[in-house]
Structure 1
Amino acid sequence: MAARIFQKPKNAMQSGRAGTQHWVLEFEPAEPKRADPLMGWAGSRDTQEQVRLSFPTLDAAKAYAEREGLAYHVIPAPARRLKLQAYADNFR
């Protein structure tokens, strides 16, 4: 079973960074999603896809994956880009 470890980025609708310092471990999908013939919803029989574990640090997430024998890869957090603007820029 493969897993990925990443830090949740800030949502575009958020002004603060609450919850972005935690690391998340989630399992990679084992089988592709398929459409349900009756309702048309996408789904699969893979229940591991629903599991998301949260850890305070990257080292704690790695230690858990190694202890459980999971193959994992770490997705680095995206770099923060500050867009500095001034009110006067609206009138240039």
Structure 2
Amino acid sequence: MTTARIIEEQRKTTQSGKAKAGRWTLEFERTEGQRPDPLTGWAGSGDTKTQIRLTFETKEEALAYATRKGFDIHLVPAPPVKLKLQAYADNFR
């Protein structure tokens, strides 16, 4: 059976906005190990499902899609964001 990993996208550390935060991505876990190509030396495998990524607005949409298609689900929520609030003057104490 195919295993799908559903990941909650988190805010990028280089961005201050939250435009794409909270979206959910469905991607497939690897079923074959990677092996080096004898000609180029690049790592690859015959498993092409790892190239597919589907995005959903909510977790429920992603879970509904995975259960409708009959995938095993591995849910990965985003870690909680901790804000460190401090004043500029605290740098000089």
RMSD: 1.2
1:85 deviation in Å?
2.1
State the distance in 2 between where 1:87 and 1:11 align: 23
User: Is residue 40 of structure 1 aligned with residue 48 of structure 2?
Assistant: no
TM-score (norm 2): 0.89
1:72 deviation in Å?
0.6
State the distance in 1 between where 2:13 and 2:36 align: 30
Report matched runs for 1:12-91 at 5 Å: 12-91=13-92
Length, aligned pairs only: 92
- Extract unaligned runs of 5+ from structure 2: none
| Aligned AA (2:13) | A
- Extract unaligned runs of 5+ from structure 1: none
TM-score (norm 1): 0.90
Q: What is the aligned-residue identity percentage?
A: 54
Moved over 4 A (4+): none
